[in-house]
Every structure is written in structure tokens, then in C-alpha cells.
Amino acid sequence: MDGAKSQLKKRPVPGLVHGALMAEMIADESGQLIFAVNSGPPFREELAIEKEILVPLRVKRFVETHSLHLPSGVERGATAEDLICEIEVFLWNWVDIPDEWLKPIAHYCLMTWVYDYFTAVPYLRFLGEYGTGKTRMLQVAAALSYRSLAVSGNITGAALFRSIDSIRGTLAIDEADFKNSAEWSDITKVLNNGYTPGFPIVRCDGVDATFTPQLFYVYGPKIISTRHRFEDAALESRCITFETQERKVDPRIPLQLSPAFYEEAVALRNKLLGWRFDNFRSIETDDSALRQLDGRIGQVGASLLAVAPDKEAMVNFLNRYAHSTKEDSPKEIVRQILAEKRGKLSVAEVTRAANQRLQGSGLNPLTYRAVGSIVRSLGCRTKRMNTGYIVERG
């Protein structure tokens, strides 16, 4: 039997869900990468599954540099209510964050531990200028998220989708305001496809001269910090965005993350892994209370609602968030301008008025072409005249 086992191919994986069996890669107290398992012997160096041997990924260096956040063990029995409270306390202790943000961010961290149960997840985005604390917020949220890998905004598109495919957890990208247009085009595709499974990135591998298509899995939670909103409206709609403001840091917040931060974070990750093992198959999704929301917010918000102990409070948050997002959106602003201004109106006039209202929003100014497209999407027509395009209302 041992001889037959030794002939099996070894495949590195970060974890698995295989029938009733669940396993998760951890870095034990000695730093060794092993599997924590939900049944049988709790810790194993490898797993024999069908015709292969599964072993942990070779990512020890990532763990040692605090780029990849893994549990060190597993502590079972914590409830969602317990964990939400503990995550809120952890956030409050390590980052200067408005109280009203604590609970939504805590729910996001909890949701990441069962993200692979869902068919759509939102991205958590911190938006603000230099010096407003968005990087610290990203660091602290990432430290409690499932299998999170933290990278900087200088990552390439190829490295990005290969990293997600390998780790299959939460990706945290700091300063994701990409300047290189070709690189940004590649990264936008990853982010646009990665909120739902079933849309992998496809690339051809020319190493063996056969150019065999390869599929890269890019689905998963993503925590992002940026100075500006995304120009791509579809990508914006995938984000739950918290805007950071410049203010004096509360004296209770350490200016640097001490060893205590990492110790507290790993202890919480051990409890979160136990919660994943205990609850993965008992999660229930009911999106009936979100049907009145914008389709995308309702879709991605359903995953947060599924893990929320207080369903009513989460529905209220998503309603408030959807309302505030709609009020500030370019489409809603153009709708308001068309409703307020009577008589003949040119696309240029609408564009100027919209851009005045968008000042300070973090969004780039609208072009005439973009406004024309929005006007038509609202049921109006645009007609070309000698002086430019005018809006024809129905």
C-alpha cells in the first residue's frame, strides 16, 4: 500500500473541500506548512485523495514576510456573533476607523472565510488621498480575511491572476491606482471577472511550443485601496466603498503594527478557520429582502447577508449604502439635471453641469460622449445640430 502511495503524483494545493472532507493549509507554531483537517487526525503533512497526494503550497517565504496570512491551528466552536464582536474589537484597537464602519467591515472579513460557497462576492475598497489611513485599514482587514495575500499596486496583470489562481483566497491590493494603461487593461479584466466564478482568465502557454490554453481562476474576495474611483462603471459596482478622511490619529492607535498585532490576528484566524469548518455546509442564502436594490448591490450583498447574525441590520446597511451610491452616481446626477432643467438642453450643457456636481467626488470628469450615452440610457435621444448635440426628451 505504501509502495503504491509513493507512486502517486504530488500536487500542491492551499486547501480543499472534497465531499465531507475539508482541509486548510496552515503555518504551525514552528512555521511548517501543513493541513488542518475537519475530521480524523486534525493535522496532516499530506492528504491522499483519489489518485494523487495533496501537499501544501510552497509559500513559506510569503508567510514569513506577513504577505500571506494563514492560521497557525484551528479553534472550533465560535459563533458568528462571537466572531463579529471580536473582529470589531480588533479593528477598533488597531485602526482609527469610524464606529459605523466597524460592523460592515467585520462582516466582510467573516464572509471571506466561506466565499467559495457563494456565486458572487463584493470587493471591499478604501478610497482616499495620501495620509488618510487607507493602507492601515487594508492591512488590518486583510490580517483577518481568509487566506489573504497582500500585494502592492506595482504588481503586473500576469502576476496578479497567477497569484489568485494559486492562493484561491482573498487578494489585498494597496494603492491600486495603476498608471500603465496596458497593465491596467489586464488588471481590470481580472477584477471585472473575479467577483463571480466561472469566468477564468485564459492564456496560452508557449513553453512547449504547443500554445495550450491555460485557465486561471480569479474568483474571490478582494480588498483594495485607491486614491481615485475606477473609471470603469462595472468595476465600481463590484465595490463596497468606504471613503477615508484626513484627521488626527486617535492617541490609542499605535503608529506601527507591533508583534501583538500579528499574535492577536493569528489567534482570531484560528477561530475563523474553526467557524469555516463548523458552518460551511449550513449557510443559508435568502436574497428576498434585497430585491428592491440595484441588481449588482443586491447580488454581491447577498453574501454579506448570509453570514450576518442580525439580518435586519445588514439589510438596513445595504439599503443605506445603495441609496448613497445611487445619489452620487454620474447616471443619477444626469437624471437630476434633466429633471431640473427645462427647455432645449445641449449635451455640452449637461456635461458641464454634471462635472460641477462631481467635483470632490473622486470621479474623473465626464466626457461629452459619456454623458450622451447616459442620456440615451435614460430614455432620451440625442440629435446632432450645427452647434453640437442636443437632448430630445420623450
**Domain range list for the chain:** 2-58, 80-325, 329-392
Sheet strands side by side (includes 170-174): 68-69, 148-152, 170-174, 222-226, 123-127, 239-243
Q: Is the dihedral of CA 347, 352, 358, 363 positive or negative?
A: positive
CA–CA separation, 96 and 246 (whole Å): 11
The whole-number average pLDDT for the span 338-344 is 81
Asked if the model's pLDDT at residue 361 lies above 70, the reply is: no
Question: Greater confidence, 272 or 189?
Answer: 272
Asked if the model's pLDDT at residue 326 lies above 70, the reply is: no
Asked if the model's pLDDT at residue 363 lies above 80, the reply is: no
Q: Among 260, 225, 263, 265, which residue's Cα sits nearest to residue 241?
A: 225
CA–CA separation, 382 and 393 (whole Å): 9
What per-residue confidence (pLDDT) applies to 201?
83
CA–CA separation, 115 and 110 (whole Å): 9
CB atoms near residue 379 (< 10 Å): 9
Stretch among 304-313, 324-333, 340-349 having the lowest mean pLDDT: 324-333
**Residue 130's pLDDT band (cuts 50, 70, 90):** confident
CA–CA separation, 337 and 138 (whole Å): 36
The whole-number average pLDDT for the span 369-393 is 85
Interstrand relation of 388-392 and 68-69 (parallel, antiparallel or unpaired): unpaired
Residues 6+ apart with CB under 8 A from 85: none
> What distance lies between CA 124 and its chain's CA centroid?
5
Asked if the model's pLDDT at residue 111 lies above 80, the reply is: yes
Question: Greater confidence, 266 or 203?
Answer: 266
pLDDT in tens, 1-17: 455 556 778 999 999 99
Q: Is the dihedral of CA 113, 194, 222, 307 positive or negative?
A: negative
Domain spanning 80-325: CATH 3.40.50.300: yes
The whole-number average pLDDT for the span 123-149 is 93
The whole-number average pLDDT for the span 291-315 is 89
What per-residue confidence (pLDDT) applies to 240?
93
Interstrand relation of 170-174 and 47-49 (parallel, antiparallel or unpaired): unpaired
What per-residue confidence (pLDDT) applies to 207?
56
Asked if the model's pLDDT at residue 331 lies above 80, the reply is: no
Stretch among 33-37, 106-110, 173-177, 288-292 having the lowest mean pLDDT: 173-177
As its CATH architecture, domain 329-392 has: Orthogonal Bundle (1.10)
What per-residue confidence (pLDDT) applies to 135?
92
Asked if the model's pLDDT at residue 85 lies above 60, the reply is: yes
> What distance lies between CA 151 and its chain's CA centroid?
13
- End-to-end CA distance of the chain, in Å? 78
**Residue 88's pLDDT band (cuts 50, 70, 90):** very high
CA–CA separation, 315 and 311 (whole Å): 6
Question: Greater confidence, 191 or 207?
Answer: 191
Asked if the model's pLDDT at residue 116 lies above 90, the reply is: yes
What per-residue confidence (pLDDT) applies to 237?
83
> What distance lies between CA 305 and its chain's CA centroid?
16
Model's pTM, two decimal places? 0.83
Q: Which of 44-53, 162-171, 270-279, 353-362 has the highest mean pLDDT?
A: 270-279
Residue 140 amino acid letter? V
Share of the chain above pLDDT 90, in %: 52
What per-residue confidence (pLDDT) applies to 259?
94
**Residue 329's pLDDT band (cuts 50, 70, 90):** confident
Give a three-class secondary structure readout of the chain.
CHHHHHCCEEEEECEEEECCEEEEEEECCCCCEEEEECCCCCEECCEEECCEEEEECCCHHHHHCCCEECCCCCCCCCCHHHHHHHHHHHHHHHCCCCHHHHHHHHHHHHHHCCHHHCCCCCEEEEECCCCCCHHHHHHHHHHCCCCEEEEECCCCHHHHHHHHHHHCCEEEEECCCCCCHHHHHHHHHHHHHCCCCCCCEEEEECCCCCCEEEEECCCCCEEEEECCCCCCHHHHCCEEEEECCCCCCCCCCCCCCCHHHHHHHHHHHHHHHHHHHHHHHHCCCCCHHHCCCCHHHHHHHHHHHHHCCCHHHHHHHHHHHHHHHHHHCHHHHHHHHHHHCCCCEEHHHHHHHHHHHHCCCCCCCCCHHHHHHHHHHCCCEEEEECCEEEEECC
Stretch among 27-31, 146-150, 263-267 having the lowest mean pLDDT: 27-31
What per-residue confidence (pLDDT) applies to 359?
81
What per-residue confidence (pLDDT) applies to 328?
64
What is the average pLDDT value for the chain, to the nearest integer? 88
The whole-number average pLDDT for the span 37-56 is 93
What per-residue confidence (pLDDT) applies to 232?
74
Asked if the model's pLDDT at residue 295 lies above 90, the reply is: no
The whole-number average pLDDT for the span 323-344 is 78
